[in-house]
Amino acid sequence: MTPLSIRLLRADETDLAAAISRRAMRTVPCFDETLHSPQEDRDFWREHIFPTCEIWGAFEKDVLLGQAAVSEGWVHQLHVDPIGQGRGIGSALLAALKIGMPDIQLWTFQANHGARRFYERHGFIAVEQTDGSRNEEREPDVRYRWVR
C-alpha cells in the first residue's frame, strides 16, 4: 500500500469531501439517497461544514480517499471512500485526530454496524442512544465518546 498523507483540506477540495461522504453513506443500510441531491450535499459542505470545522483529508498519491470534519471535541463527519475501505484509512484519520483531541464525541446511526464496530475497536464507548427524532433522517442513533 502506498503511504497515506494526512493534511487539512483547502477550500477548493470541499466538493471532493462531499462526494466521498455521499459515496460512503450509500453503504449504510438506512441511508436515504433521495433526502438530498448531490448539489445540496456540496452546498452543505461549502456553506456549513467548511466554515465551522477543520476538515482533515487522507490522501494516497494525491487522491483523497477519506475525510474527517471536526470542531470543539466533536467529529461531525468521518468517511472513507468505498474504494479505500478496509485499508486502514479511517484508522489513520482517527489516530491523527486523537493526537490533538483528548476528548472526542460523535454520532452514528444505530443501524450502521460497520461504523459502530470501527469506533468500538478504537476505544470509543457508546454513551447515549436515541430514537432518531432529533436527526434529519429520523433514524435511531448512538453517541460515542473517547477520552485519552
For the chain, the structural domain boundaries read 4-147
Within 9-62, strands assigned E span 54-60
Q: Summarize pLDDT for 100-121 with one digit per residue, the tens.
A: 999 999 999 999 999 999 999 9
Higher pLDDT among residues 91 and 32, named by residue: 91
Distances (CA, A) of 117 to 4, 7, 101, 103, 126: 23, 25, 21, 19, 11
Q: Is 65:59 a contact under the CB 8 Å cutoff?
A: yes
Domain boundaries 4-147, corresponding CATH code: 3.40.630.30
* 80-104 average pLDDT score: 94
Q: How many Cα atoms are found within 13 Å in the side-chain-facing hemisphere of 133?
A: 2
Structure-block grid coordinates of residue 11 = 477550500
Residue 32 has pLDDT above 80, yes or no: no
| Partner residues linked to 55 by β-bridges | 69
**DSSP class of residue 83?**
G
Task: Evaluate if pTM is beyond 0.75.
Answer: yes
